[in-house]
């Protein structure tokens, strides 16, 4: 069981402590594969203790510190200090987390803790770059469901730590009517009306490929329209057609180089799948000190 303090920290960040604890246990079990850390138990006495410092090798935005803390606790390390909180900017060489305890346990936790922090900090760092590139506009950077299977809660958390906002967490949170739904339902209006009839209070987003489709549904029951692969000229025209009657989200063809231009058109969101499916890992390492 994770400590009460850590459980509260996870809850404050909108993370489920039971999910994080289970994930930490399963990843450590994967690393051991039913055995033990052969190298560590052969070279380091059980009574040996150390101080472990997690430090950034590159500058970025930190995420996953509380997840690393959960890994430490699962491995039997309860004496640790969080030096930089999730969502903080970190400079190269700066300390993020300090842990003290049996060296064997610290080394057992090392790779799993670093995997989580590196992956999640990479997502947060990339998200922060997108957020800064559209600064001064009213648009928000939003993620997608293009996440690593079973890691969605953590990866969407990392997006929030980078200053982005989350799209739906699951298929049951909101309706997103896409081209295949439209074909099967017999048309855009038919699809929207079918969802609204079955789920009157559910948020509805509709994907459109053309300005004609947008004009057809701008006054429908949809809450938001996703503009799929529209260029800047089409996006500006879409904003004019919508005229504030429905929120708009740009998706497809977005890059860090053109994000500012798209945000300046007046759309409400930029949907960026790359935040979670293509973020490079932030290089973080662990150094042992004062071994005894």
Active site includes 207? Answer: yes
- The burial class, CB within 10 Å (0-12 / 13-18 / 19+), for 261 is middle
Token match 């989200």: residue?
A: 249
The token pair that represents 211 in the structure block: 């300005």
Q: State both tokens at 231.
A: 């260029």
**Catalytic (active site) residue 37:** no
d(CA 168, CA 166): 6
86, 133, 205, 228: the catalytic one is 228
Q: Are 209 and 227 within 8 A, CB to CB?
A: no
Which one is catalytic: 146, 152, 168, 236? 146
Residue count of the chain: 292
- Interatomic CA distance for residues 249 and 223, integer angstroms: 11
Instruction: Single out the catalytic residue among 25, 58, 100, 111.
Output: 111
- Nearest Cα to 158, choosing from 150, 149, 173, 147? 147
Q: What gap in Å lies between CA 41 and CA 100, rounded to an integer?
A: 18
Which one from 25, 100, 129, 178 is the annotated catalytic residue?
A: 178
Any catalytic annotation for residue 289?
no
Residue 285's φ and ψ, nearest 5 degrees, are: -125, 170
Burial class (CB in 10 A: 0-12, 13-18, 19+), 91: exposed
Concerning whether 111 is annotated as a catalytic residue, the answer is yes
Is residue 233 flagged as an active site residue? no
Residue pair 155/120 in contact (Cβ under 8 Å)? The answer is: yes
Catalytic residue among 86, 207, 249, 268: 207
- What single-letter DSSP state applies at residue 279? P
Residues 240, 241, 245, CA angle at the centre, nearest 5°? 100
Would you give the distance in Å from CA 23 to the centre of its chain?
A: 16
Active-site residue set: 111, 146, 178, 207, 228
């Amino acid at each position: 069981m994770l400590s009460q303090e850590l459980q509260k920290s996870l809850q404050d960040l909108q993370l489920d402590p039971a999910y994080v604890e289970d994930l930490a246990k399963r990843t450590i079990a994967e690393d051991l594969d039913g055995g033990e850390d052969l190298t560590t138990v052969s070279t380091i006495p059980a009574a040996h203790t150390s101080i472990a410092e997690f430090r950034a090798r590159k500058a970025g935005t930190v995420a996953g510190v509380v997840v690393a803390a959960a890994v430490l606790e699962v491995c039997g390390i309860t004496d640790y200090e969080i030096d930089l909180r999730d969502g903080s900017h970190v400079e190269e060489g700066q300390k993020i987390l300090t842990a003290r305890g049996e060296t064997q346990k610290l080394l057992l936790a090392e790779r799993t803790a670093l995997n989580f922090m590196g992956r999640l900090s990479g997502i947060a760092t990339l998200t922060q770059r997108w957020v800064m590139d559209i600064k001064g506009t009213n648009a928000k950077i939003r993620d997608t469901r293009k996440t690593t299977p079973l890691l969605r809660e953590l990866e969407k958390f990392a997006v929030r730590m980078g200053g982005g906002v989350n799209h739906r967490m699951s298929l049951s949170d909101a309706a997103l009517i896409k081209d295949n739904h439209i074909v099967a339902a017999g048309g855009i209006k038919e699809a929207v009306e079918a969802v609204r009839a079955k789920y009157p209070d559910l948020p509805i987003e509709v994907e459109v490929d053309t300005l004609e489709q947008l004009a057809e549904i701008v006054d429908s029951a949809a809450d938001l329209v996703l503009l799929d692969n529209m260029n800047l000229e089409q996006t500006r025209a879409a904003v004019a057609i919508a005229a504030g009657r429905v929120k708009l989200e740009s998706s497809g063809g977005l890059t860090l180089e053109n994000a500012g231009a798209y945000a300046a058109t007046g759309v409400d969101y930029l949907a960026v799948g790359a935040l979670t499916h293509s973020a490079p890992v932030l290089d973080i390492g662990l150094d042992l000190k004062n071994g005894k």
